Structure 1
Amino acid sequence: MVTSKHTTLAVAKMTSKHQITIPRAVREKLGLSNHDKLVFQLTDHGQVMIDKEQKSDLWSIIREQDAAHGSIDTPEPDWGKDVGAELIDD
């Protein structure tokens, strides 16, 4: 891997099934994790730009945040036996 001020060059080898492993430097730079999708943009000059697909679906964003930070669901509080048994004087 070669890195300069503005460019990182990483090499990946294609398998016989046309698959590649994305180099660690690229995964880290793009913030990739399991099951992320990549967008390939091809230019007229034969260059390829790769970026992480931006999620626009609310539930995808929620699942991603839940995986990263945990669920916001909390168990129902136990108020004890006396809650709901209050006597009201007339």
Structure 2
Amino acid sequence: MALEVRTREAFPIDWAMTQNNLGNAYLERITDQKAQNLEDAIACYQLALSVFTREAFPIDWAMTQNNLGNAYSERITDQKAQNLEEAFA
């Protein structure tokens, strides 16, 4: 619901932070399918990184990269080795 107000166009920084927080919620979610929750978390983090660039927001970028790495390290789908390489990246 927050994303209805915190749109990327009107409030890009708040939108990105909300995407990051939503990713955290998906990462910790215990209902529904774990694999899908992880995919949703990864998607949210990647969206946040479209605003939180290393140059413009280095601290937020690093935090979101860390969260993305955690999600990839827990990822169930695809190849485990590839997921770990994504986590390292």
**TM-score bracket relative to the smaller structure:** under 0.3
Question: Relative to total residues, which structure has the larger helix share, 1 or 2?
Answer: 2
TM-score w.r.t. structure 2 length? 0.24
Higher-RCO chain (CA-CA 8 Å, sequence separation at least 6)? 2
TM-score w.r.t. structure 1 length? 0.24
Question: Relative to total residues, which structure has the larger strand share, 1 or 2?
Answer: 1
User: Which is higher, the Rg of structure 1 or of structure 2?
Assistant: 1
